[in-house]
């Protein structure tokens, strides 16, 4: 939960190369965001953090990659849409 875009790219690389011997790789990328100074837990990030990847950014990262990214967002502030999506081939499909 609340990992950087570089961490997501590393996960894609680990699962996406031929020697990984994975027929279908799945990555789960989750965010929980709160108001700065009023974080719900120590793991929360501020909704204004530059480290947060938007739904569109994660969908774009999935383009041309041999993995499916399950992306979940819960934003207490409402700055980002909360929900769960399947990201694959550059598309975001809402699951909830």
Total tally of structural domains belonging to the chain: 1
pLDDT value of position 39: 62
Q: Report pLDDT for 95.
A: 94
What pLDDT is recorded for position 77? 92
Predicted pLDDT of residue 37: 77
pLDDT along the chain (96 residues), means of 10: 88 82 84 80 85 93 91 93 94 90
- What is the DSSP track for 30-84? EEEEE-TT--SSTT-EETT-TTPPPHHHHHHHHTT-SEEEEEEEEETTSSS--EE
11: Cα separation from own chain's centroid: 11
- For the question of whether the overall pTM of this predicted structure is more than 0.75, the answer is yes
Q: Is residue 72 within 8 Å of 31, Cβ to Cβ?
A: yes
Residue-number span of the structural domain to which 90 is assigned: 5-94
């Amino acid at each position: 939960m609340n990992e950087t875009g570089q961490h997501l790219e590393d996960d894609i690389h680990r699962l996406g190369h031929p020697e990984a011997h994975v027929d279908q790789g799945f990555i789960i990328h989750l965010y929980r965001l709160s108001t700065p100074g009023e974080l719900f837990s120590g793991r929360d990030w501020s909704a204004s953090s530059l480290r947060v990847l938007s739904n569109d950014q994660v969908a774009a990262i999935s383009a041309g990659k041999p993995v499916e990214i399950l992306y979940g967002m819960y934003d207490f502030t409402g700055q980002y849409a909360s929900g769960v999506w399947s990201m694959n081939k550059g598309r975001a499909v809402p699951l909830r």
